[in-house]
Structure 1
Amino acid sequence: MGIIHGYLLMLVVAMGSMATTCNAERVWKRIITVDQSGKKGNYVKIQDAIDAVPSNNVHPVFIRVEPGIYKEKIHVPENKPLITLSGRNANTTVITWNDGGDIFKSPTLTVFASDFVGRYLTIQNTYGTTDKAVALRVTSEKAMFYACRIISYQDTLLDESGRHFYNNCYIEGATDFIFGNAASLFKQCHLRSTSEDNGAITAQRRTSEEENTGFYFVRCKITGVKRCVLGRPWGPYSRVVFSQTYMSSAVLPQGWDDWGKSSTHRTAYYGEYKCFGPGAKRTHRVGWSLSLSIQQASPYLTMNIMDANNWVMS
């Protein structure tokens, strides 16, 4: 299918169970199709389709990726906002690369542009277990990911900065596999630890009391190969909250680790609210983690934490 001009597709979404209404709309001015076979699309590489979007773009662009395994490192620059990158099914639309050693240079997909949407994609880094290997780096003021699979081993998702929403995503790794200093809500995501021994799911990097950042997990699921902790503080004011989340026995009884920094016991904010499953028992949790009341947890249950009423689509 060629480039379609003047095609209008309006997506108006209600937040529903998140108890917040989203007023975001997106009217597609251009649709680009990527097909690695060269039979159906405008481009055979995803990066070529992104490069075709004008600099300082002001109109929403929909890049449809046909099923296939796309072996390429992809970069969405800051001056190309309003891009939606969408497969049809994450199991059949795979973006993959093999690079490690540097969290900023290794990512398979890097997003700097605002108002980015990723849907129905597998984003993976196959470098392995010997070094840091980021699958997805998000340094975007506003970004959304729906039904994506994000897979690596160490430092899978660099959720670096900005406000982000992850809905119904599968995120897999062993060591600090969700890390960074964004303000992000993870809704109904499956987090799978492949750690053989004491891996950490999160390493949040909030550095001061004034920063409005943190990782917030609502109605998620945690499974694992062996044992892991929920998080450890990359920054002294690290903030992570798990709410209404199923925790398998993969979660170690202590729940959290201080990374050898006992001073963070006073400054880190690690909370749990109405979590359940064998790994959610708080009998042996570290004393500096919190069992939250509904009043304490309520700010972390809705889109308000990211001031997202007018930009998140779910």
Structure 2
Amino acid sequence: MDAFIFFLALFTLMASTPPADAAETSAAALLKTVDQSGKGDYEKIQEAIDAVPSNNKEVVFILVKPGVYEEKIVVPADKPFITLSGSKANNTIITSSDSGNIIKSATVTVLASDFVGRYLTIQNLGYQDTLLDETGRHYYYNCYIEGAVDFICGNAASLFEVTFQEPVSEEFSAITAQRRQSPSEETGFTFPGSKMTGERTAILGRPWGSYSRVVFALTYISNVILPRGWDDWGDASMQSTMFYYEYKCYGPGANTSQRVEWSQKLAPKEVELFLSKSIVEAKSWIKPTPKHFKKPFLAISNNSTEHP
């Protein structure tokens, strides 16, 4: 079975419930290194995460040295402000081969707020649902996402900027399965300036939720995308509630003349919101990469909430 890959040059995530208090984070980050050769502070990524105290209030920068890390990683909800960083995405790989349950089979699970992932490849041998983008506000920049059926799914409010996607399914494939379930939910997936390539056919999206919301704007779409563009998942009643829009996309797959009649185009004034990071309220939580670090970062019991 093909390996499906989430390749990150930069991936920034903030969970919205409960929010962490960013004002209490320190200017200098606590630095910890992970190195399989034994030359770092830890040999496994999860060990470094486990050492971060519960109710953490300081930026923790975990530098992962090159290698293939066969681990399933979990960042608990009570450990915010963690940055997990490799040096190059093509030589720092986190991989697992679990499959089945969409929650339990994940290679990397992030439950905490203010998480940043950089220069990593996250890989799983599962067949579909590559990226469960479920809760919170997320920003993806310069990423490569490869998958098959519904391979970007969930109900977060997320901006995918300069994201490369390649559907690899041998049969049916959908790029997105967004799960917005009511008009009051401020969630949805936006793809401004992305690039879509691949060898097999796919659609742009289908509704996991009745009010599914997905926007592709200024995106290159190759002929991998079928002319109809979208699917109603066999439920025509959702055609009037879904929010599926395209704006000034280009490429052989961007011709909308044969799109399903219920998909829509955005007007220039309407699209402004979807082209800006303001749609995910980025100014309130996206912070620059730390330039100053504290060492040594002593191991701390998870039962303690204070640094020694």
**TM-score under structure 1 normalisation?**
0.82
Give the corresponding residue for 1:160: 134
Match of 2:283 in 1: 309
Deviation at 1:198, TM superposition (A): 3.1
- Give secondary structure in 2 for the equivalent of 1:272: strand
Q: Residue type matched to 2:48 in 1?
A: A
Counterpart-to-counterpart distance in 2, 1:26 and 1:205: 36
**Residue 37 of structure 2 is aligned to residue 37 of structure 1:** yes
Q: CA separation in 2, counterparts of 1:288 and 1:186?
A: 24
**Would you say the 8 A contact 1:196–1:225 is kept in 2?**
no
Q: In 1, distance between residues paired with 2:51 and 2:80?
A: 13
**CA distance in 1: counterparts of 2:26 and 2:262, whole angstroms:** 43
Residues in 1 aligned to 2:28 and 2:130: alpha-carbon distance in whole angstroms: 31
Q: Secondary structure at the match of 1:299?
A: helix
Matched, 1:58 2:57: yes
Q: Write the letter of the residue equivalent to 2:77.
A: E
Deviation at 1:197, TM superposition (A): 3.0
Match of 1:82 in 2: 81
Is the CA contact 1:238–1:269 (under 8 Å) kept in the aligned structure 2? yes
CA contact (8 A) 1:28 1:62 kept: no
Task: Specify every segment of 5 or more residues in structure 1 that has no aligned partner in the other structure, as ranges.
Answer: 1-22, 127-132, 134-152
Give the structure 1 partner of residue 174 of structure 2. 200
Equivalent pair of 2:26/2:58 in contact (CA under 8 Å): no
Q: Please show how residues 1-314 of structure 1 align to structure 2 within 5 Å.
A: 27-39=27-39, 41-126=40-125, 133=126, 153-313=127-287
**1:115-140 Cα shifts (integer Å, max 9, x gaps):** 000000000112xxxxxx3xxxxxxx
Tell me the TM-score normalized by structure 2: 0.84
Whole-angstrom distance in 1 between the partners of 2:28 and 2:287: 14
Residue 313 of structure 1 deviates from its aligned partner by 4.0
Q: Is the 8 A contact 1:157 1:178 kept in 2?
A: yes
In the alignment, the residues of structure 1 paired with residue 136 and residue 197 of structure 2 have an alpha-carbon distance, to the nearest angstrom, of 27
* 8 Å CA contact retained: 1:195, 1:224: no
User: 2: CA distance between counterparts of 1:77 and 1:221?
Assistant: 32
Runs of 5+ consecutive residues of structure 2 not aligned to the other structure: 1-21, 289-308
Aligned to 1:19: none
Q: 1:313 to 1:242 in 2, by over 3 A?
A: farther
Q: Which amino acid aligns with 1:193?
A: P
Deviation of the 1:309 alpha carbon: 1.1
Q: State the superposition RMSD in angstroms.
A: 1.5
Deviations 1:210-240 (A, max 9, x none): 0000000010000112100000000000000
Shift of 1:308: 1.6
Report if the CA contact (8 A) 1:218-1:244 is conserved.
Answer: yes
Q: Which amino acid aligns with 2:140?
A: Y
Runs ≥4 residues deviating over 3 A: 23-26
Find the aligned partners of 1:121 and 1:26 in 2 and give their Cα distance.
Answer: 25
